Amino acid sequence: MATQLKSGHTAEPLSDEDSARILKDFPGQVDGLVRVQPGGWILPTPYLEMADKIYDFKFRESDVVVMTHPKCGTTWTQDLLWNMVHNPNIDNPAAEEAVNGRSPYLEVDILLMGKMKEMMLSDTSNPMLKQFAELCPGANPADGIGIQMAAATPGIRIIKSHLTFPLLPPDLLDTTKVVYVMRNPKDMCISYNHHCRMARFHDFQGNMDLFVDYLTNDELFYGPYWNHVKEGWKRRDHPRLYVLFFENLKADPVAEVRELDKFLGTDLTEEQMTKVIEHTSFDKMKARDAHFPVTEEMKKKILNQEVVQNEGGFFRKGQVGDFKNKLTPAQESKIDAWTKMNTEGMDIEFKYSI
């Protein structure tokens, strides 16, 4: 049965056949998926509980929204922007907190499915719940940890979302600034595959051939990838939108931070920019390994430790061109054909090496 959303979209559960097939390959997705039209967006069923709240969310003029398809440089950009705004001299003690604690993930609750939601909401030692209680005294975490923390965060908020423009408030760009991050689809695929095998709320069990099929068939969370990219790209000339390519930030962080400084109006000195770039380098962020505010014990439950130990956790490699070590010629060819079909007339060019 279709659900009508305030955004004007309708959301309908996948067919029983598709649901069974996907659950077999992604056994962590226990609550199932819905497809949201128009756009064909694939989202977990808990999104239905949050969709209208997200669409009605009140952004402030001072906010900066980091918007990306998953695995396109989200966490790096979050940390970079937060430090540019709140820690230009690298002396703010809050910088040691987990990135998604000080930079709220708006729709994080839609990822909490089945036993994971029960575990996250019942563990009183969970730093995220403690932070929630401090920011939102008397509020019920079951009503949405991410959206309530985002609403209660004081000052200039750096807010993360993987949702596409049409599912967010329609006045978003009239209200605040958005940094939309893009990454070439081959490296994104490798990073997303790692993420889906590592994170228990996905728990992907297949090989790379199967994952590439899911990607190119638009059956992964937050996809279709190209629809997501197109929604950002067609708004690229809006004065409140900055389109950031992961590859450009990797190749020349100084040049990109200078442009971001102008966009944000942070007016950093050259020394401050250098400090922020160094503090948010991949190696430094990997050493801190502070992604979500959870205990080490909780991290062991929500992440596949075999994958983490053998291949890395949330901070894996952060490279451009690593797909060359992971994809077969046949897999590359499939992604190339999918890319060509979806980028015709777009006037967009991704870099696959630097």
Split at pLDDT 50, 70, 90, the class of 326 is very high
As a whole number of angstroms, the distance between CA 135 and CA 125 comes to 16
| Element holding 160 (H helix, E strand) | strand 158-161
Tell whether the model's pLDDT for residue 262 goes beyond 80: yes
Choice among 4-8, 307-311, 314-318 with the minimum mean pLDDT? 314-318
| Buried/exposed code over 282-317 (b: 16+ C-beta within 10 A; e: otherwise) | eeebeebebbbbbeeebbeebbbeebbeeeebbbbe
pLDDT value at residue 291: 65
Task: Choose among 291, 279, 337, 235: nearest CA to 100.
Answer: 291
Task: Say which residue, 99 or 36, is predicted with more confidence.
Answer: 36
What class is the 61-193+222-343 domain? alpha beta
Split at pLDDT 50, 70, 90, the class of 314 is low
Q: What is the pTM of this model?
A: 0.95
β-strand partners of 36: 11, 41
> Do residues 291 and 99 make contact, with C-beta atoms less than 8 angstroms apart?
yes
Class of residue 97 by CB neighbours under 10 A (exposed 0-12, middle 13-18, buried 19+) = middle
As a whole number of angstroms, the distance between CA 268 and CA 214 comes to 43
Angstrom distances, CA of residue 9 to CA of 47, 69, 108, 152: 13, 19, 20, 28
Tell whether the model's pLDDT for residue 297 goes beyond 90: no
Tell whether the model's pLDDT for residue 4 goes beyond 80: yes
Average pLDDT, the chain: 93
pLDDT in tens, 182-215: 999 999 999 999 999 999 999 999 999 999 999 9
pLDDT in tens, 19-68: 999 999 999 999 999 999 999 999 999 999 999 999 999 999 999 999 99
Angle between the N-to-C axes of helices 208-216 and 329-343, in degrees from 0 to 180, rounded to the nearest 10: 10
pLDDT value at residue 112: 84
The two tokens of residue 232 are 């950002």
- What residues does each domain of the chain span? 61-193+222-343
pLDDT value at residue 251: 96
Task: Say which residue, 143 or 297, is predicted with more confidence.
Answer: 143
